[in-house]
Chain A
């Protein structure tokens, strides 16, 4: 395997790692907090909301936005690293 295809390989592995972690957070915020554990979280109050209800109707959406922007940032860094390696 030559250097450039090793780089490509590493880039893809790194990419999968980033995506897997963020997809886990996505699942936790929506299906986890908003659906599966919603009744347990409802025992906790959060400002004027029950916490589970808040995740289901508002919190999950805010977390979705955050996840995409974290992804944009991490991928930008990864792209830069990858391009530098190609130039070397």
Chain B
């Protein structure tokens, strides 16, 4: 069977499985719809959390990004795992003890205020929608690349599937489909990684292959990679380029943001008790760590392979995949020094960075592009970072079924995250806005109807974002973390660990955190992108890392305002005492 039929087969089987599970686990009450009836086993919840958490970005883009960042890629590796320690130790057990349906539920109750609840809903919706837009786009890209349908068609198919199981099953349906999706995505990630590790180092465990000697050679992979890169004029792979303070702040913003993401937090509401909430945070991190410790290995293998296979190689002799991805428009080459050989070097090859192709071919047979050559760089090659994972099976010469598997895995990663996000958006609308704020006397049946209806609306909006992406989706996804870090995380943390923070403090803290962080990001990314360099940044902190400062400001404002306004009522003292007991 050819790659395309195999891909249809694998994707078809996995989609069939998700739908089957959704029909089997329909939700009948709001309790089941919002938090799966609190009956999810910690291991199952760990898997569901892992799938919920690992998005199209983790699956497709992360290893490629790290591949080109070297040691600085650690911001993603540590940032997107370290947050689970915060969740497990500081939030999950207490929020589970509180035992309600949503994150704004806790904030509204703890700060005895509808305003606090509504502010939390606004923060939640901003954070979750920016995030979900990226997922839908990911679904579209995978469809178009592997199944050769239009991106729009891909997005609509993805919307249909998510809509079906999210509306029908609510949290209960989503949980068990996410368990299946985790299995699909982790298998699809590991298989090519293992093959490549064996090819390069002879070690079948990528995590160890990463630090092993090259096959039949005395030199370690990373040593060799450092040598190759310094030869060509790059900084060594294992060295860092970013300022320490920026690495520190980006990592912290990603960690704090992870712990403040509503679709992750709400997963801990679905388990039977406090001890299970702790356990499922542990299992979740194990399941996530399996992918996150493989990713940096894949990054170094891919970078090594890239140089070995294509540096100083003539275009005619370049491997088949180089031309395949050039055809799709994710690789471009121009022979700047007219020696007929492909050369990599630091810096962007072209201006603008992304290639625009003409219809003819150059002397060596390469696709001709209209871009200017970047004069300051000897680099001749444009490579889209996403290729590093998607093309890995081809680069390593793996059989077609592995390529099909990667497509199914990438879809599982994107769909599971999208479903989790859509559910928290809809729950915050139907439960926090409608049931708790606007129409407090509606029946449970009515609320369930509104919950399903808001999933429907949310899916449509998310789909529109996928089809008509605002040009900056990829960037905005990273900012969702900064915003979560600066708004929801401190409100939750202070709500549990202090008794003195009152509603005035929490509301003004969340609002200043939101405005400061959003303002900084919008200023540098959208209003004055030409100013976006480290010399203009506040203390050298990039917009990606500014959420950390936003969080500190939030905490400071919350404490100060609470000092000068009236104490929380005594019921709140009792509430805090009760969530602090197991």
Contacts and interface: CB of A to CB of B under 8 A. Distances in A.
Interface of A: 8, 11-12, 15, 19, 22-23, 26, 30-31, 34-36, 38, 42, 46-50, 53-54, 56-58, 60-62, 64-65, 67-69, 71-72, 75-76, 79, 82-83
Contacts of B252: 31
A54 B293 CA distance: 11
Contact of B85 (A46, A47, A64): A64
Given A48-B220, A75-B582, A79-B275, 17 more contacts: A11-B581, A19-B89, A23-B85, A30-B255, A31-B248, A34-B251, A35-B248, A47-B211, A50-B222, A53-B238, A56-B78, A58-B210, A61-B77, A67-B85, A68-B88, A69-B282, A82-B582
Interface of B: 66, 71, 73-74, 77-78, 81-82, 84-85, 88-90, 93, 207, 210-213, 220-223, 238, 240, 244, 247-248, 251-252, 255, 275, 278-279, 281-282, 285-286, 289, 292-293, 296, 577, 580-582
B289 A65 contact: yes
Contacts of A53: 71, 222, 238
Contact of B296 (A36, A57, A69): A57
Nearest to B210: A58
18 contacts: A11-B582, A30-B255, A31-B248, A34-B251, A35-B74, A46-B211, A47-B211, A56-B71, A56-B74, A56-B78, A57-B73, A57-B74, A58-B207, A61-B81, A64-B84, A68-B84, A71-B88, A71-B89
Contacts of B66: 57
A36 to B, nearest CB: 7
Contacts of B282: 65, 68-69, 71-72
A17 B551 CA distance: 24
Contacts of A49: 210-211, 222, 238
A71 B211 contact: no
Contacts of A12: 580
A64 B247 contact: no
A56 B240 CA distance: 11
Contacts of B240: 38
Contacts of B89: 19, 22-23, 26, 67-68, 71
Contacts of B279: 72
Chain B interface main SS type: helix
B71 A76 contact: no
B35 to A, nearest CB: 21
Contact of B251 (A23, A35, A61): A35
A34 B581 CA distance: 35
A61 B211 contact: no
Contacts of B74: 34-35, 56-57, 60
Nearest to B201: A48
A8 B581 CA distance: 7
A72 B280 CA distance: 10
Contacts of B84: 64, 68
A34 B139 CA distance: 33
B213 A58 contact: no
B582 A42 contact: no
A42 B240 CA distance: 11
Report the 3 A-B pairs with minimum CB-CB distance, sorted nearest first.
Answer: A48-B220, A56-B74, A48-B211
Contacts of B220: 48
Contacts of B85: 22-23, 26, 64, 67-68
B575 to A, nearest CB: 14
Nearest to A31: B248
B289 A38 contact: no
A86 to B, nearest CB: 10
Nearest to B582: A79
A23 B91 CA distance: 13
Contacts of B580: 8, 11-12, 15
Contact of A57 (B77, B82, B90, B223): B77
B396 to A, nearest CB: 20
Contacts of A67: 85, 89
B78 A48 contact: no
A57 B238 CA distance: 10
A42 B71 CA distance: 11
B582 A64 contact: no
Nearest to A15: B580
Contact of B82 (A15, A26, A46, A69): A26
A42 B207 CA distance: 19
A47 to B, nearest CB: 4
Contacts of A23: 85, 89-90
B243 to A, nearest CB: 11
Contact of A31 (B90, B221, B251): B251
B289 A64 contact: yes
A60 B82 contact: yes
A46 B238 CA distance: 13
